Amino acid sequence: MSEDTAVAETHSPTPGDLDSAFRSPARIPDPRTILIVLIVINATVLASTSQILAYTAVLLAVICLATVRPRYALTALSIAATGTALALAAVAWPLPVLVFVGVIGHWTMRFTATAAFAVYALIAIRPSVLVAALRRVHLPRFVVVPVTVIFRMFPTILREAGAVRDAMTLRGLHPDPLSFLVHPIRTGELLIVPLLTSVIRSGDELTAAALVRGLGRPERPSSVFTLRFTSADVLLGLAGLGLIVLAVTTGGRAG
């Protein structure tokens, strides 16, 4: 046995090693900061008619999403740009059809900001860290449990949908948008029914896993995750505060 091997086998993890192993990356803010900013984006973007506010929220959501999934950020930016182009085309050429399409584009751009940041929250927040963060602020169980289940269910639904789609492809079926338009009832039946069955089974498994981990116990469990605010929380918090200030200063103006 070599000297390096002996050293590796006798080395025991230090508290610093364990702390770094259970800490989120430095670029990921605290789950509490992410959830607060998510609420701020939904409240400001959907309640105000200010276009500057909407563009700022889209930019913030795209930047945050780019830190975890650059491809998703590019998709969100493309959708927002398309919606903005349709809205501007309706303003330049106020034809009935263009006005109808422009309204759809306008709201598509706004919902892109909220949806993109929601996707960022689902990707960036680890469910176990979320539970520890929510318990740290002493939220009741009827708030902690549903939020935790939601954060665990969305990735599960996406995985099951991909598995159902792969199974349909292996059987010679192609559940693409064209087949859905040509045969909507048949495609929906072949896709939705297996997906619902799989999601129900996954929900039972998630419930059993949550009970095993003691999620419903009245005692406050300890956590191995280190929760602390970093520079990422400061930047994201300032961005959320900027959205609030922008919403107050612009009011309901469209500019």
Say what the pLDDT of residue 174 is: 67
Q: In terms of Cα–Cα distance, which of 76, 117, 85 is closest to 104?
A: 85
Least confident range from 3-7, 76-80, 199-203: namely 3-7
Q: pLDDT band at residue 91, thresholds of 50, 70 and 90? A: confident
Q: What angle (nearest 5°) sits at the alpha carbon of residue 222, between those of residues 33 and 231?
A: 25
User: In whole angstroms, how large is the CA radius of gyration of the chain?
Assistant: 23
Runs of H (alpha helix) within 48-95? 51-66, 70-92
pLDDT at 1: 45
Q: What is the pTM of this model?
A: 0.73
- pLDDT band per the 50, 70, 90 thresholds, residue 215: low
Distance separating alpha carbons of residues 246 and 254, to the nearest angstrom: 12
Report the run of H or E that residue 23 belongs to, with start and end. Answer: none
> What is the pLDDT at residue 56?
93
Q: Is the pLDDT of residue 65 over 60?
A: yes
Task: Name the residue among 32, 29, 87, 30 with its Cα closest to residue 58.
Answer: 87
Question: Side-chain half-sphere of 235: how many Cα atoms within 13 Å?
Answer: 10
